[in-house]
Amino acid sequence: MLKLVNLTKRYGQTLALDGFNLEVSPGERVVIMGPSGCGKSTAIRCINRLTEPDGGEIYFQGLSVLDMGHRELLDMRKRIGFVFQHFNLIHRLSALENVMFGLVMAGMDRRQAKEQAIEALAKVGLTGDLDKRPGELSGGQQQRVGIARALALDPVLMLWDEPTASLDPILVCEVLDVMEELVATTQTTMVIVTHEVAFARRAADRIVLMDKGKVVEEGPPDEVFTSPSSEVGRKYQRLLVA
C-alpha cells in the first residue's frame, strides 16, 4: 500500500536521503532504525510530504503522492496518522480539543467528533484530565494525546517518528505499552521510527536498518538482530545482547 522509490533529499551540503527505498504492505508493521542523523525522520516525513523530497517516487494506495494536487494531498494526509517525537500538540487547546481538532477541521459534526475523540483517548488509556492543556500534562500523557489525535482520524497508515525519544524512561514504558496494545488490537499499517530495540523486536513484522540516507539491511526482527549483515545491524545486535 506504500512504496518509496529511490528518494533523495538534500539539505545544503547534507545528503539526508540518498536513494531510499521502502515497500510496505497493508497491515504490515515496519520499524525503521538507524543511527542519529541517518535520515529516518526525513524519510518518514516525505511519505505525507511534510518534507518535500528532491527526487524519487512515492506511491500510496497506488497513487503517486508527489503528483498529487493540493486537495488530494490534504485528503491523503487525513488518512495517515502521524505521531511526533515532540508530541506537537496545540498548546491553546485542551487534551480533548487536540484530539477533536483534526476531526472538526475535516468537517465532522462537533458532538460526533467529541465522542470519537473520547473513544480514541480511551484507547490510549486517558479518561481523566481531558480538559487540561498540554502544558498541564505529563510527557507520557501528552504523547498519548498525540497518539489519540492520530488514532481519532481512523487512519489506514500510522507514521511514528520516535514517539518515545523525548520521554524519560518511566514514561517511555507508559507509551510503549499503548503502542504494543495498538499493534496487538488493530490492523492498521504502521511505519515506526524508534530506537527501542526490545519493542521493535516484539512489535515489528520487519526491521529496516538505515545508514547515511539509505537502507542498509532489512528483514524480520529475528533475522536482523541475530545475524545482521550490516555494520548498523551488528551494533543493534550488541545492544540487544547487553
Partner 1 sequence: MFALLRDGFAGDLIILLLVSILLGSLGASAIAAAVDNYFGDTVNELIGDYGEFDVIIHVREEVQDAAGQEMERIVAEKLPGAVYKKGLTVAGQANFFLSLPPELRNRGILEGLGGIVGDLPGYSGLTYIIEPAITINSVHPGVRSELWEKMEQIPGVDFIFRQGNNLLVLLDSVDCAPQVSQALEELLAGYQVLEVRLPIGYAAQDVEALSEQVRAGIARELGPRVLKDVTFARQGEDTQSFLKALAEMRRFLLSYAAKVDIHLEGDAPLWVGDSVIVPGVDDPIVVEVTEVSGSLARGVITKGDLRGVPQLVQTGRRLLASGEEGPEVGRVEIRNERLQLIQTIDESLILVGELDALAQEAKGAVDNAEKTLSTFHQALYKLEELQLQLQTLTQNLQPALEGQGTSSQIFLSLLINSLFKDMLGDGGSQVGVIGDLDVALMRDNLDNIAARLEAVRQVDLDAVIHQMQQVRDALPQLQEEDMGRSVRLINSYIAGQVIPGEKIDLLVDDAVSPREAERAVQEELDNEYISVLSTPAGVVRPNTRAELFRVLREVRGIIAGLAAIVFTVLTLILDHATILSAGRRLLAGKKGLRRVLNPVFVFGALTGAALLVPTYILSRANIPFMGLGQALGCGLLLGLLTALLAERLSPVDDSEMLAGEALGLTYAQIMREIVVPAARPGLLQLLSRCRRKFG
Ligand X SMILES: Nc1ncnc2c1ncn2[C@@H]1O[C@H](COP(=O)(O)OP(=O)(O)OP(=O)(O)O)[C@@H](O)[C@H]1O
Closer CB to partner 1, residue 189 or residue 206?
A: 189
Question: DSSP characters for 164-227?
Answer: TTTS-HHHHHHHHHHHHHHHHH---EEEEE---HHHHHHH-SEEEEEETTEEEEEE-HHHHHHS
Question: What does the binding site for Mg ion look like in residue numbers (CB under 5 A)?
Answer: 41
89 lines the binding site for partner 1 (CB under 8 A): yes
162 lines the binding site for partner 1 (CB under 8 A): no
* Contact of residue 42 among partner 1, ligand X, Mg ion, none (CB under 5-8 Å per partner type): ligand X
**Region near partner 1 per CB under 8 A, out of 21-29, 103-111, 182-190, 223-231:** 103-111
User: Can you tell me which of 82, 160, 199, 236 binds partner 1, judged by CB under 8 A?
Assistant: 82
Q: Is the dihedral of CA 92, 134, 51, 29 positive or negative?
A: negative
Question: C-beta of 109: minimal distance to ligand X in Å?
Answer: 37
Question: What does the binding site for ligand X look like in residue numbers (CB under 6 A)?
Answer: 11, 14, 16, 34, 36-42, 162
Sequence letter at residue 47: I
Question: DSSP characters for 78-138?
Answer: HTEEEE-TT----TTS-HHHHHHHHHHHTT--HHHHHHHHHHHHHHTT--S-TTS-GGGS-
Question: C-beta of 89: minimal distance to partner 1 in Å?
Answer: 7
* Contact of residue 27 among partner 1, Mg ion, ligand X, none (CB under 5-8 Å per partner type): none
Q: How far is CA 68 from CA 65, 77, 95, 156, in A?
A: 5, 11, 32, 18
Chain residues binding partner 1 by CB under 8 A are 11, 48, 50-52, 70, 73-78, 80, 82, 84, 86-93, 97, 101-102, 104-106, 149, 153
